[in-house]
Amino acid sequence: MRAAVGIDFGGTNVQAVVVDEAGRVLADGVWPTPREGPAVADLVAGIVASLDVEGLPLGIGAPVLLDGDGIVVAAPNLPSVIGTDFGRSVRSRLTEMNRNPAALVVDNDATLAAVGELELGCAAGSRDAVVVTLGTGIGAGLIVNGQVIRGANGFAGEAGHMVVDTAGPPCPCGRNGCWERFASGTGLARLARDAAHAGRATRVVELAGGDPEAVRGEQVSLACAEGDPEARAIMSAFGWWVALGLANLCLLLDVELCVIGGGLVGSGDFLLAPVREHFAEFMEPATGGTGRVVPRPVAQIVLASLGSRAGAVGAAWSAWKAVGGR
Amino acid sequence: MRAAVGIDFGGTNVQAVVVDEAGRVLADGVWPTPREGPAVADLVAGIVASLDVEGLPLGIGAPVLLDGDGIVVAAPNLPSVIGTDFGRSVRSRLTEMNRNPAALVVDNDATLAAVGELELGCAAGSRDAVVVTLGTGIGAGLIVNGQVIRGANGFAGEAGHMVVDTAGPPCPCGRNGCWERFASGTGLARLARDAAHAGRATRVVELAGGDPEAVRGEQVSLACAEGDPEARAIMSAFGWWVALGLANLCLLLDVELCVIGGGLVGSGDFLLAPVREHFAEFMEPATGGTGRVVPRPVAQIVLASLGSRAGAVGAAWSAWKAVGGR
């Protein structure tokens, strides 16, 4: 079988895919992310075994920054692996089980999501684009002149840790008011719980079993789909924060396309519509009192065509590349 | 004479240089920025006449975004030219005076400052860098893979309008809490006036002639040089805002070098020291409770080696390129 395996470690879930050379997903699965570092390699080995894909090229994405030696130097949403050699521990576990891959590639999850959307998804053919992955945190892959850029140390794209509100809540990264405190799945859940405690999320709380503290983003999406106006107000407030950060990225990089990926893609138009509306407000041209308005081109905003599997597909694509495929 | 002219319109001053092919500045001058659009072309013509440089290639930088037809689509700090064809009005004024340049290039000022520092200044040889120009507003030029990037429409680098504090003051661009509300010359003056009104800027107010409302950034620099602790406290608070935005840029682009240009370069180490100190705090690795700290490489921060003339020198360099020089 000419195929590759991609595994994407999120802060909450692990997504795995087997993809053939035409970009078709042949098999996939989702597992909860292990809390402890050593369990990460065990899970990879278990996935390889359960998908029966030993010997194929294997790509792994994770919410980490790796230095030139493969050591994890930062991982705000997966702290258990800080300081470890992610690739080496996976490789030695696979070797123990006699399940060596044809190649093993480890990279930042958001970078791989951008690779996936650029090579096999909705950013194909784009020259300047950003792919933001809204999950437990926010990662971004930046496409400049048709290529995913890496930066001086391979750390480019840490958009989730742009400070957008200096008075905002503390972030595990050590700063305050990072974009991902507001515009990630974690941020949506916090907005929803705030609304629940203020009595502005009756249906959402019902769907969460009656406990405001149990409210998650999923219940906001569900209530939106039922037409619940309180849930839609929460999603609009959330969309404002997503749009704010996208506007920052667009002002900086002047992209033609913003792709939204990650678990929240499942909210579909309930998410996309308020994001687009608020983004248009942020990008409205100012006249500076002159009364003259010159329309300027602004970026299109779309949902990842690979959905929440963009990172895993990008990981598989990178593994192909490592063995000279695609 | 094998030389080129560069003119850089800031929100406050206009800087002009004549530069030879070795990058040496042969002549220069500074004029106040005209408030009215039509006076812009008159000033260019006057500069060309006073420097006696008609017939040389001419590059002009301005704090504007130009569309593909050369029309100004955004200019928060020079609103009088919104909707005008900047290049055409300059060209026709020069033609009227029979002082046609060998070539005329018009571009964004911050982009040209990055071109200047990359080609003839301290970013020479850098692969990934940002050049931020702190003046009336803030502009940035982004160097990715050794090239100044332009974005899909030539608008890349609007770092001054990243929202960094959603509760911050309104910006002429229409958003609130943009980075340049805090970290530009305008931002420093505001911080200094706030300190003056709170009685925490005695010497600075003296230097401004006794009127807290007359306080500008220059007096803060002067008082710093005298060793005034209140002025140094203001500069430290200002450096925190500069560092905040630089950290945002570094997290996003993972550059090896941040170059600070613009009028504030004159403050030298009084500015640079607090910026570096706060930047190091922002970039400190988080351990996520693991206690493991892995040092990560972070960007160097330096002052523009071309000083406040980086934009004008970059404009001259671009004009050379337009006639096949350099």
| Nearest residue of chain B to residue A248 (CA atoms) | B162
Q: Are residues A83 and A131 in the same domain?
A: no
Neighbours of A29 (CB within 10 A): 14
Q: Can you give the pLDDT at residue B252?
A: 98
Are B77 and B181 members of one domain?
Answer: no
Boundaries of domain holding B60? 3-114+309-322
B82 to A294: CB separation less than 8 angstroms, yes or no: yes
Please give the single-letter amino acid code of residue A2: R
Q: Residue A209 is encoded by which pair of tokens?
A: 């079993």
Q: Would you call B254 and A151 a contact, using CB atoms and an 8 Å cutoff?
A: yes
Provide ipTM, 2 decimals: 0.95
What whole-number distance in Å separates Cα of residue B313 and Cα of residue B320? 11
| Residue B66 belongs to a domain | yes
**Cβ count within 10 A of residue B213:** 9
**d(CA B66, nearest CA chain A) in Å:** 9
Q: A99: closest CA among A35, A170, A169, A47?
A: A47
pLDDT in tens, chain A (326 residues): 589 999 999 888 999 999 998 889 999 999 999 888 778 889 999 999 888 888 899 999 999 999 888 899 988 888 888 999 989 999 999 999 888 899 999 999 999 999 999 999 999 999 999 999 999 899 999 999 999 999 999 999 999 999 999 999 999 999 999 999 999 999 999 999 999 999 999 999 999 999 999 999 999 999 999 999 999 999 999 999 999 999 999 999 999 999 999 989 989 999 999 999 999 999 998 887 888 888 888 999 999 999 999 999 999 999 999 998 76
Quick check: B62 and B106 in contact, CB under 8 A? yes
Q: With an 8 Å Cβ cutoff, is A302 touching chain B?
A: no
CATH code: domain of residue A8: 3.30.420.40
Distance CA B189, CA A276 (A): 36
Q: Give B152's contacts (C-beta < 8 A, 6+ positions apart).
A: A127, A128, A254, A255, A256, A297, A299
* β-pair type (A147-148, A138-144): antiparallel
pLDDT (0 to 100) of residue B1: 55
> Residue A120: inside a domain, yes or no?
no
At B60 the pLDDT is: 96
Instruction: Report chain B residues whose CB lies below 8 A from the CB of A156.
Output: 128, 252-254
Angstrom distance (rounded) from CA A130 to CA B97: 47
pLDDT at A91: 92
pLDDT of residue A1: 56
Q: How many domains does chain A have?
A: 2
User: Which of A79, A155, A254 lies at the smallest CB-CB distance from B151?
Assistant: A254
DSSP state of B300: E
For residues A183 and A160, what is the distance between their CA atoms, to the nearest angstrom? 8
- Read off the pLDDT of residues A59-86 as tens digits, 9 standing for 90 and up: 999 999 998 888 999 888 888 889 999 8
| Spatial contact of B180 and B191, defined as CB atoms under 8 Å apart | no
Q: Which residue, B85, B124, B162, B42, is CA-closest to B313? A: B124
- What is the three-class DSSP state of B229? helix
Q: With a CB-CB cutoff of 8 Å, which residues 252-291 of chain B face chain A?
A: 252-256, 282, 284-290
Nearest to B151 among A128, A164, A174 (CB): A128
* Burial zone of B322 (CB within 10 Å; 0-12 exposed, 13-18 middle, 19+ buried): middle
- Whether B205 and B196 have beta carbons less than 8 Å apart is answered as yes
Q: Could you give the CA distance from residue A13 to residue B156 in angstroms, rounded to a whole number? A: 35
* A119 found inside a domain: no
In whole angstroms, give the CA distance from residue B189 to residue B168: 16
* A residues 155-174 closer than 8 Å to B (CB): 155-159, 161-167, 172-174
Q: Do A162 and B284 touch (CB under 8 A)?
A: no
Return the residue of A nearest to B172 by Cα: A288
Chain A interface, mutation test: which of B65, B248, B293, most A Cβ atoms within 10 Å? Answer: B248
Looking at the structure, tell me whether residues A137 and A175 fall in a common domain. yes
Alpha helix (H) ranges present in chain B? Answer: 37-51, 86-96, 109-120, 180-183, 185-197, 202-207, 217-225, 229-253, 269-282, 310-322
Cβ contact A164–B163 (<8 Å): yes
Chain B nearest C-alpha distance from A75 (Å): 8
Closest-CA distance of chain B to residue A59, Å: 23
**Partner residues linked to A88 by β-bridges:** none
- Domain assignment present for residue A29? The answer is yes
* A213, part of any domain: yes
Cβ-contact A61, A311 below 8 angstroms: yes
Under DSSP, is residue B32 helix (H, G, I), strand (E, B) or coil? strand
CB-nearest partner of A253 from B151, B161, B256: B151
Quick check: B302 and B260 in contact, CB under 8 A?
Answer: yes
Longest dimension (CA), chain A: 71
End-to-end CA, chain A: 14
Q: Report pTM.
A: 0.95
Rg over CA atoms, chain A: 20
| Neighbour order of strands in the sheet with B13-20 | B25-32, B13-20, B3-9, B58-62, B104-108
Q: How far is CA A11 from the centre of its chain?
A: 10
A65, A73 contact by CB (below 8 A): yes
Nearest Cα of chain B lies from the Cα of A167 at a distance, in angstroms, of 7
User: What are the tokens at B301?
Assistant: 């921060």
Tell whether B180 and B221 lie within a shared domain.
yes
- Give domain status of residue B85, yes or no: yes
- The 3-state DSSP class for residue B133 equals strand
Of the partner residues A67, A144, A293, the one whose CB lies closest to the CB of residue B144: A144
For residue A253, give the nearest of A96, A132, A117, A76 by alpha carbon.
A132
- Sequence-distant (6+) residues with CB within 8 A of B297 are A67, A152, A153, B256
> Do residues B35 and B96 share a domain?
yes
Based on the fold, state whether residues B50 and B187 are members of the same structural domain: no
> Cβ of B128 under 8 Å from any chain A Cβ?
yes
* Beta carbons of B296 and A155 less than 8 Å apart: yes
Rounded-to-integer distance, Cα B174 and Cα B197, Å = 27
CA angle centred on B177, ends B71 and A139, rounded to 5°:
90
Same domain, B15 and B40: yes
- Residue labelled with tokens 């924060």: A241
Query: Are A138 and A286 contained in the same domain?
Result: yes
Question: What are the distances in angstroms from CA B242 to CA A173, B132, B144, B252, B270?
Answer: 19, 10, 21, 16, 13
Residue of A nearest to B174 (CA): A286
Residues of chain A with Cβ-Cβ distance to B161 below 8 Å are 251
Do B58 and B141 belong together in one domain? no
- Say if the Cβ atoms of A294 and B253 lie within 8 Å: no
Tell me how close the Cα of A104 comes to any Cα of chain B, in angstroms: 23
Question: Both B176 and B53 in a single domain?
Answer: no
Question: Chain A residue closest to B159 (CA)?
Answer: A252
Q: Which amino acid is at B159?
A: A
Does A137 touch chain B if contact means CB atoms closer than 8 Å? no
Residue A165 shares a structural domain with residue A58: no
User: What is the model's pLDDT at position A191?
Assistant: 96
Question: A53 and A193: one domain?
Answer: no
Which parts of chain B register pLDDT below 50? none
Q: Where are the alpha helices (DSSP H) in chain A?
A: 37-51, 86-96, 109-120, 180-183, 185-197, 202-207, 217-225, 229-253, 269-282, 310-322
Q: Does B142 touch chain A (CB under 8 A)?
A: yes
Residue B119 lies in a domain: no
What pLDDT digit, counting tens, does each position of A216-238 carry? 999 999 999 999 999 999 999 99
Residue A12 within any structural domain of the chain: yes
